[in-house]
Structure 1
Amino acid sequence: MLHKRAIYAILTAALGSLAAAAVAGSKPESADDVSVSKLLIGGGPSGAILVADFDGSSFEIVANNTIAGTSTSWLLLKEPNFLYAVDENSDTTRLFNFDPDTNEIELVQNATGSSGVAFLEFNKDKTVMLGAAFAASAVDVWDIAADDGTLTLLKTISVGGTPGPVVGRQDSPHPHQALLDPSGRFFVVNDLGTDTILIIDSEADYNITNRISVEPSGNGPRHGAFYPPGADKATHYFLASEIASLVKAFELTYTDNDNGIELKEIQSLSTFGADFPPANSTSASAAELAISADGKHLYVSNRLTANETDSVSHFSIDIDKDEPLAFVDQISSGGLVPRMFSLAADESVLYLTNQNGENGLLAFTRDADTGSLVEKPVASVTRDVFGAPSFGPQYVKEIGV
């Protein structure tokens, strides 16, 4: 997580007539047979929640909901209409009513929880939602079972633990993600501040049942993904460690005791290939991680590299090998600070946001056979459309329509 979380709305300039503006993307590549997709975008200087249409070759911003003084760090849609948003600069979790037909976004509720929430996740039946509160060293547990989707805070879990050695980045626990495992019972919480992965059991009143140390000290666990994709239970877990810029593979075991899940590290390697080192390895920070639906490819974004642009690295996965990850290639992110990216539903495209640099929103074509990304984006929107330098978008996700 970037270290500007204490900044409260330095910039409150309006995004102008963005909601009605059509933003043409660069079109160096064709994107045949791609229907119009709808995207949710979060971030910018004024807490914007944007809706964009992507037709395979360009983006069009079709809606903009802005709340001055906020900074939208994560969004989560309970289809078809309930949109939850968190503001990393406050203790507010918000509920919006979202109409996918008209693209209207209407604020319904401001609920008070922990400060600095960076990630939201539903339980299996979407009656409960967890929020990983980076700033507050806590995980919020919300009841969202009401017919109108409103939020009721059930409990706040203080994660505890001993902070890591990196001054300024590990001065306290910093849970960055609470990820539901494929069984639908456990949440895995990556704690950047304590170099641990926590296990929360939904069948044990959402209490922490296990704490797993991640080496080396000072690596900073951030985001992860379970393997195999789409399975009823996981056999492996992959992790991006932010501070040390590492990608790690773990064997995952469901236990018969109260721990619930155990993890055994089997591989750790740099998020940079040998030919693509960061200009500044001290500041370089891994961010997002995602695995393709076929389980053969892993992607991770690299920020604050001090290179001309930051990057996205691509690894192959061969789960039958003792060390399943192998670096394949790397592309420019088209800007700086690619905090978050996501794959399209059909995985033909990778959507990416940059908080700084030239481009704020991009779409990269993905080869279905090799998993490689085409470096020249099929569409892009410049960062200045979203806001001032360092305040570009933080979140992008395709949604069903």
Structure 2
Amino acid sequence: MTSPDQTAYIGTLDGDGLVVATVRDGALTVTGALPEVREPSALAFSADRSTLYAVSELPDGAVTAVDISDPQRPVVLTSQPSGGAGPTHLEVFGKHLVTAHYSDGVVASHPIGGDGSLGPLGSALLLETPGSAASPHAHQVVPDPSGRWLLATALGLDAVFVLRFDQATGALAEHSRMDLPAGTGPRHLVFHPDGTRVFVLGELRPTVTAAAWDATAGTLERGDSAHVTGPGAPDPTYPAEIISDGAGRFLYATTRGEDAVGVLRIGPGAPQLVQTSPAGGAWPRHCALGPGGTWLYVATQRPGSVVWLPRDPATGLLGPVAGEVTVRGACWVAFA
């Protein structure tokens, strides 16, 4: 059972900014919003979870720090230009905030102050393939579990970049890359809890690719792939988000167009699709497991809601939609 005072934050596009909700017995109830946090399509927490960070997915992007020491009464601390165009993802890495920009392919970093506030842009790196005219479309940045490296997906280059990151200065530099088959369009990835494997979700090809991660060398070795869509899925279908359960037994992938959640069992090779569950709304984007892992929450963008589905932790399987709350343009859901 979820505590009544649990708080959830919902990111939106063409919605009401950063939306605040309470959670009771799995159900969400909207309690407020910060409209001044514009187009917050991705959210991340500080290590102590006292500060929430949001991108503003705009042509002139921004990143905003929000004080959530009182979870139901968030207060904007600072906002800074993000250092690129169309930011779509961000993560805290040490004492820096790192942001991926879809429109121009830049990965940028900002220093984080002692109170959680953001300083001016620290550094920026363009993901690129020399001699290629393809747009990189950096979509996500993820620190590796060892804390030494940063992984960045480049959807337009069909590659996952491994970046060196200077914890003192925030400087970024390319270290290695893993190429994927042309047309894969890697969008998001997730580490296995054991820290030795990575699962990369394609947006243009509805697949998840397993890769071995060597944290000492800072390299990825591509393995086998599996489809995340069920039989009869429409073509094209655009996968959006991939997450792992805490035990490292199952993956969950949202698929736009099919409007479903694919459940995959993790094994020694490619993950195995074991269920395709209706998402409960149109154009599902981000998804997250709630506290305790017995509910999966899905942000469905069109016209906008967050739905919750019961989850069996033993089998990984999802039940039918148990409830939903209307949130215009919902695209991200995170729990304090």
TM-score scaled by structure 1?
0.77
In 2, the alpha carbon distance for the partners of 1:292 and 1:163 equals: 40
1:264 pairs, out of 218, 221, 239, with 221
**SS of structure 2 residue aligned to 1:35:** coil
1:263 is displaced (CA, Å) by 1.9
**What is the distance in 1 between the residues matched to 2:131 and 2:257?**
23
1:223 and 1:241 in contact (8 A); partners too:
yes
Alignment match, 2:19: 50
Q: Is the 8 A contact 2:151 2:162 kept in 1?
A: yes
Q: Measure the CA separation in 2 of the matches of 1:207 and 1:311.
A: 37
**Deviation digits for residues 61-105 of structure 1, max 9, x if unmatched?**
11211138x31111122244322211111321112222435x222
CA distance in 2, matches of 1:163, 1:100: 50
Q: Which residue of 1 aligns with 2:188?
A: 223
Of 167, 180, 188, the match for 2:151: 188
Which string of whole-angstrom CA distances, capped at 9 and with x for unpartnered residues, describes residues 234-277 of structure 1? 2211110100111111122235xxxx422222211211133xx3
Task: Give unmatched runs, 5+ long, in structure 2.
Answer: none
Matched, 1:142 2:110: yes
Select the residue among 313, 323, 328 that pairs with 1:379.
323
2:213 aligns with 252
| Residue 304 of structure 1: how far off its partner (Å) | 2.3
SS in 1 for 2:301: coil
The aligned counterpart of 1:100 is 70
After TM superposition, give the deviation of residue 122 of structure 1 in Å: 1.2
Distance 2:144 2:211 in 1: 14
Q: Distance in 1 between matches of 2:26 and 2:144?
A: 35
Q: Is the 8 Å Cα contact of residues 225 and 270 (structure 2) preserved in structure 1?
A: no
Cα RMSD, aligned residues only: 2.1
Distance 1:35 1:64 in 2: 21
- In 1: Cα distance, 2:26 partner to 2:92 partner: 32
**Structure 1 residue 60 and structure 2 residue 13: aligned?**
no
> What SS class does the counterpart of residue 104 from structure 2 fall into?
coil
Q: Partners of 1:148 and 1:311 in 2: how far apart? A: 36
Structure 1 residues 59 and 147, CA gap change in structure 2 (3 angstroms): closer
Contact 1:174 1:193 in 2 (8 A): yes
* Counterpart AA for 1:297: F
Report the more deviating stretch, 265-274 or 178-187. 265-274
> Aligned runs of 1:320-399 on 2, under 5 Å?
323-357=269-303, 360-375=305-320, 377-382=321-326, 386-387=327-328, 392-399=329-336
* Offset at residue 181 of structure 1 (A): 0.6
Would you say the 8 A contact 1:57–1:378 is kept in 2? no
Q: Which amino acid aligns with 1:218?
A: G
- Cα 1:364/1:146, change in 2 over 3 Å: same
Could you say which residue in structure 1 is the equivalent of 2:164? 201
Q: Distance in 2 between matches of 1:270 and 1:99?
A: 41
The 3-state SS of whatever aligns with 2:121 is strand
- 3-state SS of paired residue (1:182): coil
- 8 Å Cα contact 1:143-1:153 kept in structure 2: yes
Pairing of 1:134-173 with structure 2 (within 5 A): 134-161=102-129, 171-173=134-136
More strand by share: 2
Rg larger for: 1
C-alpha displacement at 1:136, in angstroms?
Answer: 2.0
Tell me the residue number matched to 1:239: 200
Equivalents in 2 of 1:214, 1:176: separation in Å? 15
Counterpart CA distance in 2 for 1:254 and 1:45 is: 39
Distance in 2 (alpha carbons) for counterparts of 1:39 and 1:285: 26
- Deviation of 1:161 after TM superposition, in Å, equals 1.9
Q: Matches of 1:184 and 1:191 in 2, distance apart?
A: 21
Residue pair 1:163, 1:194 contacting (<8 A) in 2 also: no
Identity of aligned residues (%): 24
Task: Classify the secondary structure of the residue corresponding to 2:157.
Answer: coil
User: Aligned pair count?
Assistant: 329
Describe the shift of the 1:162–1:272 C-alpha distance in structure 2 as closer, same or farther (beyond 3 A). farther
Q: Secondary structure at the residue paired with 1:354?
A: strand
Quick one: structure 1 residues 57 and 200, their matched pair in 2 at CA, closer, same or farther if it must change by over 3 Å?
closer
Partner of 2:246: 293
**How many angstroms apart in 2 are the aligned matches of 1:269 and 1:111?**
40
Instruction: Give the Cα–Cα distance (whole angstroms) in 1 for the partners of residues 130 and 138 of structure 2.
Output: 13
Partner amino acid, structure 2, of 1:225? V
Query: In structure 2, do the counterparts of structure 1 residues 206 and 355 end up closer, same or farther at CA, with 3 Å as the change threshold?
Result: same
